[in-house]
Chain A
Amino acid sequence: MSQKPIELIVMRQLASTLAMPIFLVDADGTLVFYNEPAERVLGKRFEETGEMPPSEWSTLWQPMEADGRPLAPERLPLMIAFSDRKPAHGEFWIQSLDGARRQIRATAFPLIRLTDEVVGAVVIFWETAP
């Protein structure tokens, strides 16, 4: 079994101790972790969803505009942070896996290591209209 980069490990450890919802992807964009506060917003425990590729997680929660039109995956702040290597912010709606429709405000940033490699990205998000 391979080991994840230390930056991801430490980020997960930090996320595990914080009360803000945090969602973490690796260098391939694969979802590798979200914390307990995120579980409440996303409607399912991470142990139940597990790791998943970007093609899957970017549509699983059906991100959408306020009028209900689907939000293209490449417009998600996490995808922008990952692809453009810079912080990104956005507001959108999701269909939580507990059945609720939730408005989300999200700020994402890439994890760039000393060797200038992107080893992953993080998004911190809040529910703005519970």
Chain B
Amino acid sequence: MKVRLWGTRGSVAAPGPDTARYGGNTSCVEVRGPEGTVLVLDAGTGIRALGKSLGATVKRIDVLLTHLHMDHLQGLGFFAPLYDRDVETHLWGPASTTLDLRARLMRYLSPPLFPVHLRDLPRLVVHDLPAGPFEVGEFRILADRICHPGFTVGYRVATSTATLAYLSDHEPALGVPRFPMEADWTSGYALARDVDLLVHDAQYSLREYPDHVGWGHSAIDHALAFAQLARVKHLVTFHHDPAHDDDEIDRLTHEATARAGVSCTVTAAAEGAVFEIGQEAPHG
């Protein structure tokens, strides 16, 4: 399984020379399987460049949305394959209590917020996420609700030899006096348990977190503690705060990692970074 980061920023795009190393685009991750199946996790602004990079051989793309906050959706209308009659795009995401995913998406993908109607996209198939595991190509996928405002899921994506968990927006420490709690009382644990690679929200510093409790995000220290609890092999800290420049992400990651003393590998998510997990030969 090959995982490439196309957008690592949280909340709002933050381009500029100060964010060039970690990147300014919002959440988007490409996952390629050993048989060539293409998954895209979230449709932040990073999905525009991903769309341009896909070769003509790709005929089906499955986009998995964690939730519909704008930083995870804003790039969708600029994803070139949506307008290509030779490509079938499947869009998966959470319904709400009263609206299915299509109806929820139409609030954004329609005038006056966007000039193109969802119904005018030639080969788009929209799926409400099923309650249990489902399969796309060689991937077995599990979506489960996690602690973040609104209807938000995290994903566990597995092949026969590799596992990835993607919890881009996640506040498991909300209301917990001493984090982490026991594993069975920790949001997201079932998704992240024993994975090879965990991409996890790490928006704030520990000092910033108290001013943002309930906003649905983690301090870097929380991401580290969560990764340790779930016994992941490699943690990628993700959804960087737009106010953090490259040097600050370096400093905050270094300080938190030194404090936590975790046993897993820790990498701050950088746009363009590629991770190969499992034993399959990489594609693309």
| A10 CA / B181 CA spacing, docked (Å) | 13
Q: A1-B183, A1-B184 are in contact. Are A6 and B146 (CB under 8 A)?
A: yes
Query: Can you give 22 contacting A-B residue pairs, CB < 8 Å?
Result: A1-B182, A1-B183, A2-B184, A2-B190, A3-B186, A3-B188, A3-B190, A4-B184, A6-B145, A6-B146, A6-B187, A7-B145, A9-B185, A10-B147, A10-B174, A12-B185, A13-B147, A13-B176, A14-B175, A16-B176, A114-B97, A114-B145
Would you call A55 an interface residue if the criterion is a C-beta within 8 Å of the partner chain's C-beta atoms?
Answer: no
| A12 CA / B172 CA spacing, docked (Å) | 12
Residues of chain B lying within 8 A (CB to CB) of residue A3: 183-190
Q: Produce 1/0 per residue, B222-259, CB < 8 A to A.
A: 00000000000000000000000000000000000000
| A69 CA / B176 CA spacing, docked (Å) | 40
Interface residues of B (CB under 8 A from A): 95-97, 131, 144-147, 151, 174-177, 182-190
Tally of contacts, chain A with chain B, CB under 8 A: 47
- B131's nearest neighbour on chain A, judged by CB, is A115
| A16 CA / B144 CA spacing, docked (Å) | 23
Of A6, A114, A115, which one neighbours B147 at CB under 8 angstroms? Answer: A6
- A17's nearest neighbour on chain B, judged by CB, is B175
Number of A residues with CB within 8 Å of any CB on chain B: 16
Which label, helix, strand, loop or mixed, suits the secondary structure of the B interface? loop
Residues of chain B lying within 8 A (CB to CB) of residue A14: 175
- B175's nearest neighbour on chain A, judged by CB, is A13
Excluding A3-B183, A6-B147, 12 further A-B contacts by CB distance (< 8 Å) are A2-B184, A2-B190, A3-B184, A4-B184, A6-B144, A6-B187, A7-B145, A9-B147, A9-B187, A10-B147, A16-B175, A114-B145
- B132's nearest neighbour on chain A, judged by CB, is A115
Q: How far is the CB of B147 from chain A (nearest CB, A)?
A: 6
| A15 CA / B149 CA spacing, docked (Å) | 18
Residues of chain A lying within 8 A (CB to CB) of residue B190: 2-3
| A6 CA / B182 CA spacing, docked (Å) | 14
Q: How far is the CB of A7 from chain B (nearest CB, A)?
A: 8
Residues of chain B lying within 8 A (CB to CB) of residue A114: 95-97, 145, 151
Residues of chain A lying within 8 A (CB to CB) of residue B182: 1
| A42 CA / B236 CA spacing, docked (Å) | 44
Residues of chain A lying within 8 A (CB to CB) of residue B177: 16
Q: Produce 1/0 per residue, A10-26, CB < 8 A to B.
A: 10111011000000000
Whether B174 lies near A13 (C-beta < 8 A) is yes
| A13 CA / B183 CA spacing, docked (Å) | 14
Residues of chain A lying within 8 A (CB to CB) of residue B131: 115
Q: How far is the CB of B7 from chain A (nearest CB, A)?
A: 25
- A16's nearest neighbour on chain B, judged by CB, is B175
Q: How far is the CB of A16 from chain B (nearest CB, A)?
A: 6
Q: How far is the CB of B96 from chain A (nearest CB, A)?
A: 8
Residues of chain B lying within 8 A (CB to CB) of residue A13: 147, 174-176
| A83 CA / B233 CA spacing, docked (Å) | 43
Q: How far is the CB of B119 from chain A (nearest CB, A)?
A: 25
- A3's nearest neighbour on chain B, judged by CB, is B190
- A6's nearest neighbour on chain B, judged by CB, is B145
| A62 CA / B95 CA spacing, docked (Å) | 43
| A3 CA / B174 CA spacing, docked (Å) | 17
| A12 CA / B177 CA spacing, docked (Å) | 12
Residues of chain A lying within 8 A (CB to CB) of residue B97: 114
Residues of chain B lying within 8 A (CB to CB) of residue A115: 131
Residues of chain A lying within 8 A (CB to CB) of residue B188: 3
Residues of chain A lying within 8 A (CB to CB) of residue B146: 6
| A9 CA / B176 CA spacing, docked (Å) | 10
- B94's nearest neighbour on chain A, judged by CB, is A114
Residues of chain B lying within 8 A (CB to CB) of residue A2: 184, 190
Q: Which 10 A-B pairs have the closest CB atoms?
A: A13-B175, A3-B190, A6-B145, A3-B189, A115-B131, A1-B183, A1-B184, A9-B187, A3-B184, A17-B175
